[in-house]
């Protein structure tokens, strides 16, 4: 089975936007929308933990969710 889970920040934004549209159009229930929001929040908490750990250890994090769809690292400045 192919995964449809968000793997980049852009994917997550698209999922959230689609979730809002479906809720507004009556295609999703508030319970489904809430489950998607809760799952997204959990993913972002994991990213924060990964970033905090990398900062504590002096490592450079490689966090897939922070990549754009073309593979650009959104955490790098410049």
Backbone dihedral angles phi then psi of residue 67, each to the nearest 5 degrees: -90, 150
- Within 8 A by CB and 6+ apart from 60, the residues are 54
pLDDT in tens, the chain (78 residues): 455 666 788 888 899 999 999 999 999 999 999 999 999 999 999 999 999 999 999 998 888 888 766 656 555 555
Read off the pTM. 0.71
Residue ranges of domains in the chain: 9-66
* Residue from 51, 31, 49 nearest 39 by CA: 31
């Amino acid at each position: 089975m192919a995964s449809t889970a968000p793997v980049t920040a852009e994917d997550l934004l698209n999922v959230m936007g689609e979730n809002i549209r479906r809720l507004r159009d009556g295609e999703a229930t508030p319970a489904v929308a809430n489950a998607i929001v809760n799952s997204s929040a959990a993913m972002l908490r994991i990213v924060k933990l990964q970033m905090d750990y990398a900062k504590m250890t002096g490592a450079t994090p490689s966090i897939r969710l922070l990549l754009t769809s073309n593979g650009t690292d959104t955490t790098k400045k410049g």
